[in-house]
Amino acid sequence: MQRFLQAFRVGAWLGWKTESNWTNPLFYILWSLLLPMSNGLIMTMMLRVLQRTGNASGADLLPYVFIGTVVYSIVALLLDSMAWAVLEDRERMGMLKYIAITPSSMYGYLWGRGFAKVSINFLAVPLTLTFGALVLDIPIRLSTINWPLLLVVSLLGLLIVTFAAQILAGVTLMIARHAGFVGQAVSGALYLFTGALFPITVLPNWMQAIARAVPLTYWLEGMRRALWVDAQNPVYNTGLNQLSTSNLLLILLGSAVAMAVISIPLQRRAEHRAKEKGLLDMNTAY
Amino acid sequence: MQPEYAIRTVNLQRTYKTKERVLKALDGVDLAVRPGELFGFLGPNGAGKTTTIKILTTLLLPSGGTAEVWGFDVLHEADAVRRHINMVSGGESSGYGLLTVRENLWMFTQFHGMDSKVANKRIDELLEVMGLADRAKTRVSFLSTGLRQKMNYIRGLLTDPDVLFLDEPTLGLDVEAARTLRTYTRHWLDTNPGKTVVLTTHYMQEADELCDRVAIISGGTILACDTPTSLKYSLQQDVVFRLFTTPVAPAFLQAVEQIAGVQSISQRSGDQRDELSLILRDDAILPQVLSQLANHNAGLLSLEKRQPTLEDVFVNLVGHSLSESETTA
Ligand SMILES: Nc1ncnc2c1ncn2[C@@H]1O[C@H](COP(=O)(O)OP(=O)(O)OP(=O)(O)O)[C@@H](O)[C@H]1O
Ligand SMILES: [Mg+2]
């Protein structure tokens, strides 16, 4: 545990040092807002256009889409962060081997890098949501937010994504070539399968089945329920309206445990494989 | 507490499987290095030096045999091994470009759980030794390759390891920096009894002057392992000549190798002339060599009998000189 914390501290420190490379706070805030803000705006505009041209079903999906994309932006960042750290340290910096030969914990280090990424970009989420509430009239109000639910769901969700990120880092560690695609491919695919952008009910049945098996689907649903009073209104036909919030929490908790159970031995296995194949000091130089 | 051996390997094997073929990089390496030794690996490209170091630093699993570092098994007790080692490899430009030199170094002390104050003091000392003190606050991305390598060497020493692995540490360094690194490595060993250094190199002189013992490795096997003096002494019964000739053809070398009593001949081509190193069982064989020279229409420019060097030992064992393998590699 002490080794984990030690390495975590170094990873977080390095992440902050190298990724928060701003010179003034204003610039930082603008920069970190850019991604979620532009995502949110693009989706909003697309939706407006669709609603004007297509058949208006009566339900305004804007809050659904807006919350989904903004929250997902942090998922994408965290999900990719550890795989990215492995790749960057190994290929670009040539430092992974020097970290690997220290007595510290590789998990701790990677978690630290992930934590840095999230904490640097975290502020953007509440800021963008506020922007949405004030400018786009998204019905998020301080008085109607379910704060305890928000807290619990956020924590469980971050835990799930962190373990998922660690799995991706493990896979990256075992792959010699094209490892750079792993994180991006997965976060791209999940965009589709988690109902971030549209309710999963619009997907064909077999894709819906996949979406229902992905824990992040429940996380986004949970975040919507916490932030938006009308999230469970049947008119939105999200496919998850029937699920009670307590069951949703149970699913999240179960998923977090399951992800932990999968990811920890997988990381160990990945390190072993990498040592077997001599990949810790790989230099593919694409 | 010191173990009996700083490094001990028994029948160490490593194969690399690629799509095209299976390559035996290490084929039964036995090593026994005592605490306090400066142990050198000398061998041509692809001999297995780096592979050995990777296994000993827990970066690579052996395919067979056993290896212990500071008394711990590299396979089953990797964490314990890591508490006692550090490694520096030369010829690369590693480092976090956005961090300063000091930050890069400090970061690695933290992986070892060193106290920050102690760490910074050591960083200052070593920066001073390597002549990098004025670059402490420079971003690593602004450093030249050689300066990064000096930083890397400091990183290796910073944690005061019991066994320090240096894989061609002077590769790409200028003459003076290389000398500083060698001198300091020796000084560090002399002032810290029990510390052990394993060094690979392509520079004969480095191995000869610096190392307590040298292992000559080729094709994944150790051909000889002894002090530089004893290795040279093994050639004492033989005679070594250096010849300068007009350029000679490969056919001449082949013909000479056929002569009974010729231990080895190696060629270093220069401008308008060749330098040949000749190891003979006996002085009496020399005339036969010279007559071959005439047969192949080459002229003798000068001839000198000399003391065997480590290079001669190498040529005798490996079959060609290190510089030949460099140019053909
Ligand atoms: N990851 C790998 N996959 C396949 N073959 C490898 C790998 N690493 C090394 N080899 C092969 O193993 C052999 C030994 O390589 P090694 O790097 O140990 O040599 P070396 O003695 O350090 O050589 P050099 O003086 O060039 O550094 C070489 O033939 C090399 O091509
Ligand atoms: Mg090598």
Dump pLDDT digits (tens) for B53-81.
999 999 999 999 999 999 999 999 999 99
Hey, is the C-beta of B139 within 8 angstroms of any chain A C-beta?
no
- Name the residue of B12, B13, B15, B16 whose CB sits within 8 Å of the most ligand 1 atoms, as the mutation to test its pocket: B16
Separation of alpha carbons A181 and A191, rounded Å: 15
CA of B45 to the centre of ligand 2 (A): 7
- CA-proximal residue: ligand 1, atom 25 (nearest): B45
Distance CA B296, CA A93 (A): 53
Residue A23 has pLDDT above 70, yes or no: no
pLDDT score, position B221: 95
**pLDDT tens digits, B286-329:** 999 999 999 999 999 999 988 888 888 888 888 777 665 444 33
Q: Residue B240 phi/psi, 5° resolution? A: -115, 130
- Residue A159 vs residue A24, higher pLDDT: A159
- Indicate if the pLDDT at residue B256 is higher than 50: yes
Contact flag A100-B95 (C-beta cutoff 8 Å): no
pLDDT higher than threshold 80 for residue B102? yes
In angstroms, what separates the C-alpha of B78 from chain A's closest C-alpha?
A: 9
> What pLDDT, on a 0 to 100 scale, did the predictor assign at position A286?
45
Pocket mutation for ligand 1, best pick of B12, B15, B19, B51 (most atoms within 8 Å of C-beta): B51
ipTM: 0.86
- For A154-174, b/e burial (b = at least 16 CB within 10 A) is bebbbbbbbbbbbbbbbbbbb
Pocket lining: A25 vs ligand 1, CB cutoff 6 Å: no
Burial B215-233 (b: 16+ CB within 10 A, else e): bbbbebbbbbbeebeebbe
Closest ligand by atom to A280 CA: 1
Q: Would you call A102 and B111 a contact, using CB atoms and an 8 Å cutoff?
A: yes
Size of interface A-B (CB pairs under 8 A): 79
Higher per-residue pLDDT: A58 or A189: A189
Answer with the residue of higher pLDDT: A93 or A52.
A93
Name the residue of chain B whose CA is nearest to A282's CA: B59
Residue B284 near chain A (CB below 8 Å): no
CB contact under 8 A, B92 and A94: yes
* Ligand 1 neighbour B18 (Cβ under 6 A): yes
Q: pLDDT digit string (tens) for B171-230?
A: 989 999 999 999 999 999 999 999 999 999 988 889 999 999 999 999 999 999 999 989
Query: Does residue B237 register a pLDDT over 80?
Result: no
* Residue A277 tokens, joined: 């194949």
Domain definitions of chain B by residue range: 7-230, 237-307
Question: What confidence tens digit (pLDDT) does each residue in A220-272 have?
Answer: 999 999 999 888 888 888 888 889 999 999 999 999 999 999 998 999 999 99
pLDDT at A181: 78
Q: Which of A5, A93, A113, A269 to mutate to test the interface with B (most CBs of B within 10 A)?
A: A93
Chain A: nearest CA to B59, how far in angstroms?
A: 6
Mean pLDDT of B101-110: 96
Per-residue pLDDT at B326: 47
Q: Which residues of A touch B155 (CB under 8 A)?
A: 98
CB contact under 8 A, A10 and B110: yes
B109 interfacial to chain A (CB closer than 8 Å): no
B60 to chain A, any CB pair closer than 8 A? The answer is yes
Rounded distance between C-alpha atoms, residue B304 and residue B249, angstroms: 21
Atom of ligand 1 nearest to the CA of B43: 21
Least confident of A18-22, B6-10, B128-132: A18-22
Closest CB from A10, A278, A281 relative to B107:
A10
Mean pLDDT, range B225-245, rounded to an integer: 88
Q: Is the CB of residue B299 less than 8 Å from the CB of residue B246?
A: yes
Q: Rounded distance, CA A173 to CA A273, Å?
A: 8
* Mean pLDDT score, A153-162: 94
Instruction: Give the position, in ligand 1's atom list, of the atom nearest the Cα of B17.
Output: 4
> What does the pLDDT read at residue A41?
79
The residue whose CA is least distant from atom 22 of ligand 1 is B50
Nearest-10 crossing angle of helices B116-129, B145-158: 140
Cβ(B23) – ligand 1 distance below 6 Å: yes
Over chain A, what is the mean pLDDT? Answer: 86
Distance A31 CA to ligand 1 centre (A): 45
Q: Does domain B7-230 have CATH number 3.40.50.300?
A: yes
SS (H, E, C) chain B: CCCCCCEEEEEEEEEEECCCCEEEEEEEEEEEECCCCEEEEECCCCCCHHHHHHHHCCCCCCCEEEEEECCEECCCCHHHHHCCEEEEECCCCCCCCCCEHHHHHHHHHHHCCCCHHHHHHHHHHHHHHCCCHHHCCCEHHHCCHHHHHHHHHHHHHHCCCCEEEEECCCCCCCHHHHHHHHHHHHHHHHHCCCCEEEEEECCHHHHHHHCCEEEEEECCEEEEEECHHHHHHCCCCCEEEEEEECCCCHHHHHHHHHCCCEEEEEEEECCCCEEEEEEECCHHHHHHHHHHHHHCCCCEEEEEEECCCHHHHHHHHHCCCHHHHHHHC
Inter-chain residue contact A14 with B79, CB threshold 8 Å: no
Q: What is the pLDDT of residue A242?
A: 85
B93 touches chain A (CB under 8 A): yes
Question: Would the CB atoms of B103 and A17 count as touching at under 8 Å?
Answer: yes
Which residue is closest to B63 within chain A, CA to CA? A276
CB contact under 8 A, A6 and B110: yes
In percent, how much of chain B has pLDDT > 90? 72
pLDDT the model gives residue B238: 84
Q: Topology of domain B237-307, per CATH? A: Alpha-Beta Plaits (3.30.70)
CA distance, residue B107 to nearest chain A CA (Å): 7
Pairing of strands B300-306, B239-245: antiparallel
Q: Choose which residue among B18, B24, B45 to substitute to test ligand 1 binding: the one with the highest number of ligand atoms within 8 A of its C-beta.
A: B45
Contact B111 A6 (CB under 8 A): yes
Q: Which of B158, B177, B240, B213 is nearest to B36 (CA)?
A: B213
CB contacts of A173 in chain B (<8 Å) are none
The predicted pLDDT at position A179 comes to: 67
